[in-house]
Amino acid sequence: MTERRVVALGSGSYLPEKILTNEELSKIVDTTDDWIRERTGIRKRHIAAEGEFTSHLAIKAAERALEASGLTGPDIDLIVLATTTPDNTFPATATRVQAALKTKGFAFDVQSVCSGFLYALSVADAFLARGQAKRALVIGAETYSRILDWTERETCVLFGDGAGAVVLEGREAVGAPTAASGEPGIFGTLLRSDGNFYDILYVDGGVSSTQTTGHLRMKGREVFRHAVEKLSSVGEDLLARHGLKGEDVDWIVPHQANSRIIDSTARRIGASMDKVILTVAEHGNTSAASVPLALDWGVRSGKIRKGDLLLLEAMGGGLSWGAALLRW
């Protein structure tokens, strides 16, 4: 039986030139480098320049992913852009990327906060698997510096701006691809959400409610507790569906929110931190851009190689969370 297998062709990322270190932040808000590092592992974050929008970051990351894949814009017929910080309320920021890259087909945004890239990856995988598109750009891009309250220490030290992208292609395959086969491809995604926790991580503004952009608000301790529990459980559940355990994965590519969350989650899944891609120190929490940024760093640093089995996972506002299993 002929199936369609969705494979990753290449990745790319972009971080704005402006860097805001912990030391510089300590002059803005009551904090210290030691305080931030001890609680989060973050050393610095990148901040978009004036006039630099989410679409600009997304375009640069996408261009690098296309270059890594040996493709150009017209080779793409689907763009799924995950973002919580779009250029405008509408139209979709993805359409700006589409126009800049001269891609074909269709483009749209997905909004699921820090889980956004995994939701976008799942959506693109479904379109490609059904043959409704041949190649897709999946992008996570954010300018979180625009929704932070720079007087609130508990949140402003955590976030930064950035973008990451992956090029996917749908191919015909004989039989359903499996994680044990050694063949590249996306083997499964698992998405979850629970609106009962809507108010522990949110922005206090919106078009319908306040007609303002608002600022990010978070109940840190509750988010930490849910992150460890939900990320480990969704990772374990997805691996179990494929007859795998944490030790079978070559690399875990987690949402880069907090080094302590990442460490606790890896231990629960049963994976060594030696198998975890960790980049949070260099750019902080970039929400939907976090996973593809870490993925691209892993690839370009030579850690992630062709044939490696990867577990991607993230949790964000909603609460929403999810995981993806793929062989690079």
The tokens for 223 are 């988010």
Angle at 233 between CA 231 and CA 238, to 5 degrees: 100
What pLDDT, on a 0 to 100 scale, did the predictor assign at position 243?
95
Burial class (CB within 10 angstroms; exposed 0-12, middle 13-18, buried 19+) of 192: middle
Residue type at position 92 = A
Q: What's the DSSP call for residue 306?
A: T
What pLDDT, on a 0 to 100 scale, did the predictor assign at position 182?
81
- Distance, CA of 11 to CA of 66 (rounded, Å): 8
Structural domains of the chain, with CATH: 2-174 (3.40.47.10), 179-327 (3.40.47.10)
Report helix angle 290-300 to 54-69, nearest 10: 30
Report helix angle 259-269 to 33-40, nearest 10: 20
Residue type at position 285 = N
Residue 255 annotated in active site: yes
Q: Which residue has the tokens 């062989």?
A: 327
- Distance, CA of 139 to CA of 110 (rounded, Å): 10
Residue 156 annotated in active site: no
The set of residues, in sequence order, having a beta carbon less than 8 Å from that of 274 and lying 6+ positions away, is: none
Angle at 48 between CA 47 and CA 53, to 5 degrees: 150
The sign one gets for the Cα dihedral 232, 233, 236, 239 is negative
Give one DSSP letter per residue of 14-54, joined into a string.
E--SEEEEHHHHTTTSS--HHHHHHHH---EEEEPPTT--H
- Distance, CA of 258 to CA of 262 (rounded, Å): 6
The set of residues, in sequence order, having a beta carbon less than 8 Å from that of 63 and lying 6+ positions away, is: 12, 101
Q: How many helices (H) and strands (E) does the chain have?
A: 10, 13
What pLDDT, on a 0 to 100 scale, did the predictor assign at position 181?
73
- Distance, CA of 321 to CA of 326 (rounded, Å): 17
Residue 258 annotated in active site: no
The number of CA neighbours under 13 Å toward the Cβ of 77 is: 10
Q: From first to last of its 328 residues, what are the pLDDT tens digits of the chain?
A: 457 899 999 999 999 999 999 999 999 999 999 999 999 999 999 999 999 999 999 999 999 999 999 999 999 999 999 999 999 999 999 999 999 999 999 999 999 999 999 999 999 999 999 999 999 999 999 999 999 999 999 999 999 999 999 999 999 876 666 776 788 999 999 999 999 999 999 999 999 999 999 999 999 999 999 999 999 999 999 999 999 999 999 999 999 999 999 999 999 999 999 999 999 999 999 999 999 999 999 999 999 999 999 999 999 999 999 999 999 9
3-state secondary structure of 99: helix
Q: Of 61, 117, 59, which Cα lies nearest the Cα of 84?
A: 117
Residue 117's CB is within 10 A of a number of other CB atoms, namely 35
- Distance, CA of 276 to CA of 279 (rounded, Å): 10
What pLDDT, on a 0 to 100 scale, did the predictor assign at position 1?
45
The reply to whether the predicted model has a pTM over 0.95 is yes
- Distance, CA of 222 to CA of 151 (rounded, Å): 21
* Per annotation, catalytic residue among 114, 156, 226, 258: 114
Give the H or E element holding residue 288: none
* Per annotation, catalytic residue among 46, 56, 255, 283: 255
The set of residues, in sequence order, having a beta carbon less than 8 Å from that of 181 and lying 6+ positions away, is: none
The tokens for 152 are 């609130």
Q: Of 152, 112, 117, 114, which Cα lies nearest the Cα of 138?
A: 117
